[in-house]
Chain A
Amino acid sequence: MIDARQLTKRYGDKTAVDGLDFVVKPGTVTGFLGPNGAGKSTTMRMIVGLDAPTTGSVTVNGHHYARHRAPLQEVGALLEAKSIHPGRSAYNHLRALALTHGIPRRRVDEVIDLSGLASVAKKRAGAFSLGMGQRLGIAAALLGDPQTVMLDEPVNGLDPEGVLWIRNLLKALADEGRTVFVSSHLMSEMALVADHLIIVGRGRLLADTTVGDLIREAGGDTVTVATQDPARLRDVLAGPGVDITGRVGSEELQVTGLTARQIGLTAAEHGIPLFELSARTVSLEEAFMDLTREAVEYHGSTTGIETLGRPA
């Protein structure tokens, strides 16, 4: 359980995190989404007390992270960059962290096996590939058998097998009743694992929703239908859970709550001719882009030289 209240972080004039309010609940995978520079990493660093909030607060399982007697048992975190000494072996790195909490050697061996590092555990961590480094970071996050697991961009640098491993791991952790909080800038990846989504842009909360609701709100199930007699069509389609919109004087209607197939059959039944019948399916990616378009920190441009260097 992570509870952020009016969480704010300013660096000089720049506000990295701006009054975030959210709750991450146990038993589900919560995706923390936002474009680069949205304040995801800063938020996560504040959760584990590496950065102090300018105003507001964030608690984990009811207390500030630093006030827990065994912090690694409350939150296991994988942070953005490598958080290891390259000269130390993976085993010694985990062992040093374990010693601070009195975590037995047995548990160190367990997380090494769990993260697939057994063959390289005695090697210097500096020689690890990006993917191996991520696995070591995840091993460290799981070391204290934590109630809350928080991972910042965990699939970065992982090969397809590693990505699949992370997905299954996250789901398994949530199924055990743990709080799982995972950041990503890739909606497509989140769609596969997350049940709940917290979407931020430029430090502000844009949406606190579920995957299904997000698609619905973005008009995912809208069917566009055009007919000579929209008023009559509106009457015959009307029903519970059906929402029909259209401009006055236009032949087009937007229908949600019915499939294109159902609309076509109903219209034929009543002898209403249709000119157009098209389902507009919005992908999660599009819904996310719509939501964050305004809030993207660094816009790429393909339109020409004159837009270069202008603040987005």
Chain B
Amino acid sequence: MSTLTATTEEPRTAPARPAYRVTGRRVLSSEWAKLWSLRSTWITLGLGLLFMVAFGLIAASRYKSGINSGHMDRDFATSTAVSLSLFGTNFAQLALGVLGVLVTAGEYSTGMIRSTLAAVPRRLPVLWSKATVFGLVALAVATLGAFVAFLFGSGIVSGTPAAMGLSHAGVLRSLLGAGLYLGLVAVIGTALGALLRSVAGGISVLVATFMLIPGLISLLPSSWQDNISPYLPSNAGESMFALTHDSTTLSPGAGLLVFLCWTVLALCGAAYRLARSDV
């Protein structure tokens, strides 16, 4: 331990003190270490991957058995290898979104946030780092899940009308789109957790946004529906990875743009609250 002098202007010039310094990269590496040092991360990411692959395979198997028995569900009639393989996206988004909420709101519920912000009192680098680290991890896991689900799913439905290969037009874009969509869902979860500072509140809003509101919209007059519906986070996001688009849905590019806007909006809200309110 060093002996310290009581200078007020430049305390770091005191001799024999190591030159520590907070940098953006260091905050990133700290958040990376934090993410992987919790068991819940491994479990939830594992669940997300499992949902992605297992539900895709189940959907593909159901389609295949429907074809073989000749009793095809109407829902499945227009299915493609892509839509079947990505059937699990809706469930994976719940796992990844919830983990996103936990990454931030979990710090508030446990008290860890006080340690975190005492180390990084400028605060905002913590939010950017958490969103970046977890967004990229979710992107990687989801993209992996999408490709694995498609490889096995397309194998199952080969020789049926739904059959498709990776080289088929739009397939690669759909699979990458699904990964990107889930990565952004994870970022939105992270932002919601930071905005609401409550695990329960963050998960509620997440579920409402992605699962309840799309259903409630159908209560609106149909002319309104057509105007609003494509721009909802869930529908805009779905446009990112859907293989086919019609007049009621956005193009993949427009869907990505709208979904990015939602993500940025959530992050801005989170940043505002983090910078402005006491912990």
Do A and B truly interact?
A: yes
Residues of A within 8 A of B (CB): 1, 25-27, 45, 48-52, 61-62, 65-66, 68-74, 77, 79, 81-89, 92-93, 95-97, 99-103, 140, 144-145, 147, 176-178
Known: A74-B11, A101-B119. A26 touches B4 (CB 8 A): yes
Q: Tell me whether A100 and B26 are in contact in the complex, defined as CB-CB below 8 angstroms, given that A27-B6, A69-B21 are known contacts.
A: yes
CA distance A100 to B29 in the complex (A): 7
A residues in contact with B33, CB < 8 Å: 92, 95-96, 99
Question: When the two chains form their complex, are residues B4 and A93 in contact, meaning their CB atoms are under 8 A apart?
Answer: no
Contact call A89/B115, Cβ cutoff below 8 A: no
Question: Distance in Å from the Cβ of B116 to the closest Cβ of chain A?
Answer: 8
A87–B29 Cα gap in the complex (Å)?
19
B112 interface hit (Cβ, 8 Å): yes
A-contact bits for B1-37, CB 8 A (1 contact / 0 none): 1111111110110100111111100110110011001
Question: 19 interchain pairs (CB within 8 A)?
Answer: A49-B121, A66-B121, A70-B19, A70-B22, A71-B120, A73-B17, A73-B20, A79-B118, A84-B115, A88-B34, A88-B38, A88-B112, A92-B34, A96-B33, A99-B26, A100-B22, A140-B115, A147-B11, A176-B2
Contact of B38 (CB < 8 Å), options: A69, A87, A178: A87
Q: Does B117 contact A (CB under 8 A)?
A: yes
Other-chain residue from B2, B23, B117, B122 in contact with A50 (beta carbon distance below 8 A): B117
B4 touches A176 (CB 8 A): yes
Residues A96 and B34 in contact, CB atoms below 8 Å apart: yes
A-B contact count (CB 8 A): 137
Question: What are the 6 tightest A-B residue pairs by CB atom distance, in nearest-first order?
Answer: A62-B8, A66-B121, A99-B30, A92-B37, A83-B114, A70-B20
Given contacts A52-B278, A147-B4, 11 further A-B contacts (CB under 8 A): A26-B4, A49-B117, A50-B117, A71-B118, A72-B20, A82-B110, A84-B112, A87-B39, A89-B37, A93-B115, A96-B34
B106 CB within 8 Å of chain A: yes
Hey, which chain B residues are within 8 Å of A74, CB to CB? 11
> B106 near A85 (CB under 8 angstroms)?
yes
Is B238 interfacial (CB-CB < 8 Å)?
no
Q: What residues of chain B have their CB less than 8 Å away from a CB belonging to chain A? A: 1-9, 11-12, 14, 17-23, 26-27, 29-30, 33-34, 37-40, 106-107, 110-115, 117-123, 278-279
A1-B111 in contact given A51-B278, A66-B121, A88-B34 (Cβ < 8 Å): no
Interface SS of A by simple majority? loop
B122 A66 Cβ-Cβ under 8 A: yes
Residues of A within 8 A of B22 (CB): 69-71, 100-101
**Given A51, A66, A140, which contacts B279 in the complex, CB threshold below 8 Å?**
A51
Question: Which of B34, B37, B121 makes the CB contact (< 8 A) with A65?
Answer: B121
| A92 CA / B35 CA spacing, docked (Å) | 11
Distance to closest chain B CB from A58 (angstroms): 13
Which residues of chain A are within 8 angstroms of B34 by Cβ–Cβ distance? 85, 88, 92, 96
User: Which listed residue, A49, A81, A147, touches B111 by the CB 8 Å rule?
Assistant: A81
Q: By the criterion CB–CB under 8 Å, are B114 and A72 in contact?
A: no
In contact, A50 and B114 (Cβ under 8 angstroms): yes
Report B-chain residues with C-beta under 8 Å of the C-beta of A86: 110
A177 and B38 contacting across the interface, CB-CB below 8 Å = no
- Complex: how many Å from CA A60 to CA B193? 31
For B9, what are the chain A residues with a Cβ–Cβ distance below 8 Å? 62
Interface residue from B11, B106, B119 paired with A62 (Cβ < 8 Å): B11
CB <8 Å contact, B112 and A48: no
Provide the bound-state CA to CA distance between A278 and B26, in Å.
Answer: 66
Assess whether A79 is in contact with B114, with CB atoms less than 8 Å apart.
yes
Q: What is the bound-complex CA distance between A79 and B119, given in angstroms?
A: 13
A70 touching B12, Cβ below 8 Å: yes
Please, how many angstroms separate the alpha-carbon atoms of A86 and B109 in the complex? 10
**Nearest-neighbor residue (CB-CB) of A72 within chain B:** B119
| CA distance in complex: A257, B140 (Å) | 78
Question: CA–CA, A95 to B38, complex, Å?
Answer: 13
CA distance A93 to B2 in the complex (A): 24
Contact among A45, A70, A83, A93 for B21, CB-based, below 8 A: A70
> B9: nearest residue on chain A (CB-CB)?
A62
The residue in chain B whose Cβ has the minimal distance to the Cβ of A104 is B18
Give the interface centre of B2, B3, B17, B111 by most chain A CB atoms within 10 Å: B111
Cα of A178 to Cα of B9 in the assembled complex, Å: 16
A100, B121: Cα distance in complex, Å: 11
